Each structure stands twice: as structure tokens, then as C-alpha cells.
Amino acid sequence: MNTKRSETDGDAKQIGGMDLTLGTVTEADVTYTFSGKFGWRYGTADTAKDLVVFEPLTGFLINGEKPPSMKMNSFYFGGVPVEELKVFSFEYTTQAEDVGQSISLRIRLADLSQASGLTQLVTDDWKIN
């Protein structure tokens, strides 16, 4: 796990992540969708506001790289009331040049402000279709 801000984007500190290999792309125009429920507990709204599923480092990857056509937004935990979960999802549609290449999912959590205090991130019900 990378905890050095200079090795992400200079601002964010990566605080967690998950990588999942999905196999090989066999055809173009297939849409992969990730969805999951995310939230937080403990801490305060102030300590949760800058905790994110970090868009620059999250998404579906082709041969370990995020394709230029992979579009999504960051998910801000602070936008969810304490001890509630909110669905976050994104998708990628394979391109002709992806056929024969590996596809994987990467989720990266980051702290944009290095807020002090304990805030526990929670997640549930991950699905990949």
C-alpha cells in the first residue's frame, strides 16, 4: 500500500485498497459494472469528509492500466450519514483493442487531508456484473 502522497498525486494519501483479477477480455462491447455499498462509523463528519474511493487510482484496468475511456467520479464518504451505507458504482465497456488482454478491478481508498481521529470505513454487497 502506498502511503506517500508524492507517489499518488501529491495530495492524497492512500489508506487502503483491493485488487481483483477478472480474467481475459474475450470480446468488445461487453460492459463490466462494479457496485458496492460504502459508509463510515466512529469519528465525525469532519474526519470523514475527505475520505474517498479515489477516482484516479480506481476502476477497471486493462493489462494493469486504466483505459482513457474508463470514466467515473470519486466517492466521498463524508457525503453519507454516519452508520449508513450508500451505493457507489461505475462501469467500463470493453473496446476492440482490449480483446485478449487481462481485465481487473482496482479499488483505492484515500485521505485527502490526513484528518486526525479514528474513522472506520465500512463496505458491503460488492458486485461485479
The confidence score (pLDDT) of residue 7 equals 45
Q: Which three cell numbers stand for residue 5?
A: 502522497
Angle at 46 between CA 16 and CA 49, to 5 degrees: 50
The CATH class that applies to domain 5-128 reads mainly beta
The confidence score (pLDDT) of residue 19 equals 94
Can you give the pLDDT of all 129 residues of the chain as single tens digits? Answer: 334 444 445 567 777 889 999 999 999 999 999 999 999 998 888 888 888 998 988 999 999 999 999 989 999 998 999 999 999 999 999 999 999 999 999 999 888 876 666 788 888 999 999
Domain boundaries, the chain: 5-128
Rounded CA-CA distance 75/88 in Å is: 7
